[in-house]
């Protein structure tokens, strides 16, 4: 007998003082446009958290254009497509990526049907994911680019949304558009900016300053800077070889930048929980 996911949701875990509030430990990684290194960043962030001793899950939420498993050379036995079909539960779809020490729920590359899920099924998937998040210290959602219905539904309740951009004018403009729509929809959303592919830290600061100025002028809102990741040829090398950069080139600039960003995220979350 197969296990069904939709329309029923997984049972909610009992409350406990050692488990996070629903959604607080979920980090959505989004972008206004594609090609900014969002998936690579999501993978490396999950790996960095695992190296810090955190129990992390990486969810490939780019429905229809999934590629987390491809970047890692990982062949999952189960994927999100089977969850949508109702043949496995979301919990059973989570598989350990042994080389990184974190779990992955893989998408299904090239399946456009996942990107056109009915609203009820999409909401059910989101609810199941946020229930499953109670079993982890952190859940990283690698979202599709843009602000379509899928992204808004899955990102909405996330504890933190990291908006990845680079110094290209179109990337900055689209990142601002994402921030604007999300902020207007939910003024309590914890939006933070990640500048990727920066030539230098100073250049990264300049890119962030451009977005910050627009947000201040037009939204009266100041999204904080989560971190700057420098352009590094080791990233391309790691992706080409389907090996995480923290494994292949742990001392590289980009690897160190993501590690520092992960440390700040953990420190920020722990400070909020202690308050």
| pLDDT tens digits for range 222-239 | 999 999 999 999 999 999
Query: What dihedral angle (degrees, nearest 10) is formed by the CA atoms of 32, 36, 37, 41?
Result: -50
Q: Which helix (H) or strand (E) holds 153?
A: helix 149-155
pLDDT at 265: 97
- Residue 11, pLDDT above cutoff 60: no
Q: Which residues pair with 89 in a beta bridge?
A: none
Alpha carbons within 13 angstroms on the beta-carbon side of residue 151 total: 21
pLDDT at 13: 37
The whole-number average pLDDT for the span 179-198 is 95
Q: How confident is the model at residue 27 (pLDDT cuts 50, 70, 90)?
A: very high
- Residue 14, pLDDT above cutoff 60: no
| Model-wide pTM > 0.85 | yes
pLDDT at 246: 98
Q: How confident is the model at residue 109 (pLDDT cuts 50, 70, 90)?
A: low
Higher pLDDT, 85 or 237: 237
Average of per-residue pLDDT values in the chain: 89
Closest to 245 measured CA to CA, from 36, 45, 65: 45
């Amino acid at each position: 007998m197969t296990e069904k996911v939709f329309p029923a949701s997984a049972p909610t875990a009992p409350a406990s003082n050692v488990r996070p509030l629903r959604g607080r430990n979920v980090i959505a990684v989004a972008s206004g446009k594609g090609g900014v290194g969002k998936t690579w960043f999501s993978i490396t962030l999950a790996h960095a958290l695992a190296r810090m001793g955190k129990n992390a899950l990486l969810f490939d939420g780019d429905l229809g254009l999934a590629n987390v498993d491809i970047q890692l050379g990982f062949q999952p036995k189960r994927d999100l497509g089977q969850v949508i079909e109702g043949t496995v539960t979301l919990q059973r779809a989570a598989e350990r990526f042994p080389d990184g020490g974190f779990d992955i729920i893989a998408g299904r590359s090239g399946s456009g049907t996942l990107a056109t899920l009915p609203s009820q099924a999409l909401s059910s998937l989101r609810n199941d994911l946020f229930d499953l998040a109670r079993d982890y210290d952190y859940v990283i959602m690698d979202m599709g680019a843009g602000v379509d219905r899928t992204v808004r539904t899955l990102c909405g309740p996330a504890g933190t949304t990291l908006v990845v951009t680079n110094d290209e004018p179109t990337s900055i403009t689209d990142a601002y558009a994402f921030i604007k729509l999300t902020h207007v929809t939910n003024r309590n959303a914890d939006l933070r900016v990640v500048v990727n592919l920066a030539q230098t830290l100073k250049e990264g600061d300049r890119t962030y300053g451009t977005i910050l100025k627009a947000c201040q002028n037009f939204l009266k809102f100041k999204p904080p800077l989560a971190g700057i990741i420098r352009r590094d040829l080791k990233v391309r090398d790691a992706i080409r070889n389907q090996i995480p950069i923290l494994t292949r080139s742990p001392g590289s600039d980009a690897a160190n930048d993501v590690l520092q960003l992960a440390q700040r995220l953990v420190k920020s979350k722990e400070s909020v929980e202690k308050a």
